[in-house]
Amino acid sequence: MKAFLKEFKEFINRGSVMDMAVGVVIGGAFTAIVTSLVDNIIMPIVGMIIGGIKVDDLILTVGTAQLKYGLFLQNVLDFLIVAFVIFCVIKAMNKMTERLHPKKEEAPAEPEPVPEDIQLLTEIRDLLKK
């Protein structure tokens, strides 16, 4: 049991786990911001464009079943906006990283040294040619 707890402690203290935890927390806060953007700014504009209809209120009734396709459209739009914003943020971060840490041009790799036996055979061949 002690070995298991020690291994768990090492796992938790690894940098990647802590980075992931921070990412999850920030992702939750970021989702709330984007959801607010969609619900309070973008969807009212879309509603005005389509004639004052709230997209998430769109329902198709088939018999006794209600297909709430408006909520589905709302969720798809939320996803697309979140994905687009994350794409833009990552792209900006990559550009900033490139500016702060430009890639160094790598010097051409030196050729590997020729093994001694191959070098001796090459010298023998050259002597025989003369």
- Domain spans in the chain, listed from the N-terminal domain onward: 2-106
Chain segment 89-98, per-residue pLDDT in tens: 889 988 988 8
Name the residue with higher pLDDT: 9 or 3: 3
- Per-residue pLDDT band for 107 (boundaries 50, 70, 90) equals low
Distant-in-sequence, close-in-space partners of 12: CB < 8 Å, separation ≥ 6: 18
Domain 2-106 fold is 1.10.1200
Determine the average pLDDT of the residues in 21-42: 83
DSSP 8-state class, residue 1:
-
Q: How far apart are CA 88 and CA 81, in angstroms?
A: 11
User: How confident is the prediction for the chain on average, in pLDDT?
Assistant: 83
Does residue 3 have a pLDDT over 80?
yes
Chain segment 57-70, per-residue pLDDT in tens: 888 999 999 999 98
pTM for this entry:
0.51
What is the percentage of the chain residues whose pLDDT exceeds 70?
A: 97
Cα 68–Cα 70–Cα 72 angle in degrees, nearest 5:
80
Amino acid 97: pLDDT: 86
Amino acid 67: pLDDT: 92
**Beta pairing partners, 66:** 61
